Structure 1
Amino acid sequence: MTDREIIERIESLSVEEQDNLFELIRKRRSPQSGGFANEQRRTEIAEVGERLRQAVKMGTAQSFDNVEDLKLYLQANSEDEIDYIDRDGNPLTYHIKDLYPTEESYDYVTSQGKIFDTCLPDLVSKYAGEYVVFEDGRVIDNDLDEDVLLDRVWQTEFAISRRDRYHGIFCELVPEVLNA
């Protein structure tokens, strides 16, 4: 089996199955089970390296100019707050939940975002560089132009039902694959 075939098989697993697989590999490589600590560490580094390579390839990797910015990022609770710089250069901090009119709309968007991230490898292969209206692992519609897409979808029965319940629909840009 080639490395690519192994990666494709792993990517076809759910996130939970992937986590279980990584944990099983870590346990089997531990000194207590007859493996060597050096080998375990090399495996962990290789796994992190592969995840980083995939994140860069998908355009989802974080980049920092210096260690201090990285430390600040790691200390921040990204689920609770988000920082922006407005056009005038003024820092703005929002509590993410405050950006949504209801708890239900916040839950809808965050759950769709997690599903979107899980489906990203497949989405990139089909919709790289396009905006997609997405729900529960399924692309409802897509277009290169977000405004055109939203205008087309906004008056459909799908959008009307989500608009009434969640005050919106989930639309996201699928990143283009970087040449690795």
Structure 2
Amino acid sequence: MVKFTVEQKLQALNLLKEGYSSCSVAQIIGAGSHQTIDTWAGQYQHFGVQGLEIQRTWQNYRGQFKLQVLNWRKEHDETYQNTAIHFKISSPSLIYTWEKRFDEGGLDALFTKRGRPPMNKSPKKPGKYTSSELSELERLRLENRQLHIENDYLKKVEALARRKDAQRKKNYCTIAF
């Protein structure tokens, strides 16, 4: 996505004043869509040069505000661009996103927070276990110890069986010759 300076936006608006269509202006400056030019024109008409400045700060809109914007848009049967201009929202597509979320998830979808949920403030520290967790931990440790003993025993039995087998083969070879 190309970022345009205020000067480039003003040049585009001057081309509009000279009689070019928003489609042709978009092609000339490489804006991609005539809707971008129309948005700039509306922002300039309502807010002047300040409306064309790039807004770098992320705003976190509250659910009540989103609902108010959607209700106003529906009440006045306005476009996303005009609604964005009326409420001083930098991107008309943001209103479309809110409307889509509202249609899919209802009112609760407008009141959800952005981003990941916060991590637990106090993770469990070893040593602060409940009595049931301690008994479970002790049981698991005992079971683990028993499994280690069983594993070691089986390894020794297997080693003895191999040694005995090797001894038989050795004795068989000496008897056969």
TM-score w.r.t. length of structure 1:
0.21
For CA contacts below 8 A with separation 6 or more, give which structure has more relative contact order. Answer: 1
Higher helix share: 2
Higher strand share: 1
Indicate the structure (1 or 2) with the bigger Cα radius of gyration.
2
